Amino acid sequence: MRFMHTALSVQSIPQSQSFYEKIFGMKFKVAGERPEIGVKFIMLEDEKGTVIELFEHVSPKPLHEDLMDFSQNGIKHIAFVVENIDEVMDNAQKAGAKVIWPVKKGVTVKRIAFISDPNGIPIELVEV
């Protein structure tokens, strides 16, 4: 068994696709649509086989949960291992990402930081 992908509901596929391509080097893999449930989607993949699926719904509902509230059960963030966390943070901010946690010393890794994508989804950046 292996992990296949992470699915993210987004406000705009083109905007989110551009963000994940610019910041994380992901490339378009495939697109599809499920008209019966009002969604279209694409899959992006990086050179190591990491896949993110972006869903755009015709009538999206806002996210009410604070994803950084670790006391609530559920998925909280996605994480990427990066070579140079300072460079990625700089590029992400230039692309409109908001800083949730600035770069800090990690507990099990060298350094970590959190940014949010254009949809407010938290992304952990990990420098090992």
> Each residue of 81-120: pLDDT tens digit?
999 999 999 999 999 899 999 999 999 999 999 999 999 9
Q: Are 27 and 21 in contact (CB under 8 A)?
A: yes
What is the structure's pLDDT at 96?
A: 87
Residue pLDDT, tens place only, 22-63? 999 999 999 999 999 999 999 999 999 999 999 999 999 988
Q: How confident is the model at residue 64 (pLDDT cuts 50, 70, 90)?
A: confident
pLDDT at 116: 96
Q: If pLDDT is split at 50, 70 and 90, which confidence band does 18 have?
A: very high
- pLDDT number for residue 62: 86
Instruction: Give the Å distances, CA to CA, from 63 to 11, 12, 13, 55, 126.
Output: 11, 15, 17, 14, 25
- Which of 53, 72, 65 lies closest to 3 in space, CA to CA? 53
Q: Is a pLDDT exceeding 90 seen at residue 7?
A: yes
The whole-number pLDDT of residue 6 equals 96
Helix (H, G, I), strand (E, B) or coil at 52: strand
Task: Report the residue count for the chain.
Answer: 128
Contact 44, 28 (CB under 8 A): yes
Q: Delineate the domains of the chain, giving CATH numbers in brackets.
A: 6-57 (3.10.180.10), 78-127 (3.30.720.110)
